[in-house]
C-alpha cells in the first residue's frame, strides 16, 4: 500500500528577505511569507487531499507555514527535527555575499556542485539527504494508503527529489530550488519514493519568490 506525501516548502522567511543563510537558526516568516502560506493552504484545501496527518520541521518558518492549513482543517501539527534544513554550522546567519568571501572554497562547492558540499562545522548535503530520506520514509510508513502533508525547507526537498530520480550527488545541482510555499508530490511504496510533481507554485500568482543566484 502506498503513501502520498506532499512536501511543502515554508513561505518567505526573514532570512530569505535578508539574503542570509538560515539552516538551523530560527527565523519568522515575512508578511509576504504569511500571505504565501495562506494561498498555499487555500490551494491544498480546494484540492481536497484529505491528509491523515500534518508534519512539520520544528523551525518556526516551516511550522508557521503549516499552521495555515492546520487551522483550516482543524488538525494538529506534529513537529519533527528530522525535517529541518541543513545544519549550516559556521555559515548560519551569514549573508550570501559574505559567504563566498569567508568560505570561498567550501561555499564555492555549494554554488557549483551542491551535492558534494559540506557546511563548515555543520552537515554535508550527503548527510542531509540520508536524514531526510529516512525521516520522510519513517513518516510514510506510519500512514500506508493515506495522505500526509510535510512542511520543510528548500534543501531537504531538493535532495529528496534527487533521491527519487536516482540522481547522483554530482547531479543534485541540476535540480532547481523549489520556490517558497510550493508543493511537491511524492509517492512512497514498499520502501521506495517516486516523484510525481516538483515545486508546484502556479497557484501563487504574483506572490512567487525565488532564491537569488548566489545561493
- The enclosing H or E element of 1 equals none
210 pLDDT higher than 90: no
Mean pLDDT of the chain: 97
Nine-digit cell string for 55? 508534519
State the distance between the two ends of the chain, measured CA to CA, in whole angstroms: 38
The pLDDT confidence band at residue 213, using thresholds 50, 70 and 90, is confident
What's the CA gap between 126 and 147, in Å, rounded? 27
Q: Is 52 helix (H, G, I), strand (E, B) or coil?
A: coil
pLDDT of residue 66: 98
pLDDT of residue 173: 98
- Mapped onto helix, strand or coil, the DSSP state of residue 110 is helix
Q: Maximum Cα–Cα distance for the chain, whole Å?
A: 50
Other Cβ atoms closer than 10 A to 146 = 16
| Residue 212 in this model has a pLDDT that exceeds 90 | no
Average pLDDT over residues 19-25: 97
Q: What average pLDDT does this structure show over 103-128?
A: 98
Instruction: Give yes or no for residue 211 having a pLDDT over 90.
Output: no
Residue 60 binned pLDDT confidence (cut-offs 50, 70, 90): very high
Confidence of residue 150 (pLDDT cuts 50, 70, 90): very high
Select from 85, 44, 97 the least CA-distant residue to 61: 85
Query: What dotted CATH number matches 3-206?
Result: 3.40.50.1240
Check residue 1 and give its pLDDT: 82
Q: Indicate whether 192 pLDDT > 90.
A: yes
Q: Report pTM.
A: 0.97
pLDDT value at position 202? 97
Instruction: Count CB atoms within 10 A of the CB of residue 136.
Output: 27
Residue showing cell 492549513 = 69
**If you average pLDDT over residues 146-166, what whole number do you get?**
98
Give the mean pLDDT of 165-175: 98
Residue 201 φ then ψ, to 5°: -145, 15
- % of the chain residues with pLDDT over 70: 100
- 214 falls in which pLDDT band (50, 70, 90)? confident
pLDDT at 54: 98
Predicted local confidence at residue 164, as pLDDT: 97
What pLDDT is attached to residue 22?
97
What backbone torsions phi and psi does residue 195 show, to the nearest 5 degrees?
-85, 120
Amino acid at each position: 500500500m502506498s503513501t502520498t506525501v506532499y512536501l511543502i516548502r515554508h513561505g518567505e522567511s526573514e532570512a530569505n528577505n535578508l539574503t542570509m543563510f538560515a539552516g538551523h537558526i530560527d527565523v519568522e516568516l515575512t508578511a509576504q511569507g504569511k500571505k504565501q502560506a495562506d494561498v498555499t493552504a487555500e490551494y491544498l484545501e480546494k484540492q481536497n487531499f484529505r491528509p491523515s496527518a500534518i508534519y512539520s520541521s520544528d523551525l518556526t518558518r516551516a511550522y508557521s507555514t503549516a499552521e495555515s492549513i492546520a487551522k483550516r482543517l482543524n488538525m494538529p501539527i506534529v513537529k519533527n527535527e528530522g525535517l529541518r534544513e541543513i545544519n549550516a554550522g559556521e555559515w548560519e546567519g551569514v549573508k550570501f555575499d559574505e559567504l563566498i568571501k569567508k568560505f570561498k572554497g567550501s561555499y564555492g562547492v555549494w554554488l557549483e556542485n551542491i551535492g558534494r558540499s559540506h557546511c563548515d562545522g555543520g552537515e554535508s548535503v550527503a548527510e542531509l539527504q540520508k536524514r531526510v530520506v529516512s525521516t520522510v520514509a519513517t513518516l510514510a510508513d506510519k500512514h500506508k494508503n493515506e495522505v500526509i502533508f510535510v512542511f520543510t525547507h528548500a534543501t531537504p526537498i531538493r535532495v529528496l527529489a534527487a533521491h527519487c530520480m536516482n540522481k547522483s550527488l554530482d547531479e543534485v545541482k541540476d535540480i532547481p530550488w523549489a520556490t517558497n510555499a510550493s508543493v511537491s508530490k511524492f509517492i512512497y511504496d514498499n520502501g521506495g519514493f517516486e516523484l510525481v510533481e516538483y515545486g508546484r507554485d502556479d497557484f501563487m500568482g504574483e506572490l512567487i519568490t525565488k532564491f537569488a543566484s548566489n545561493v
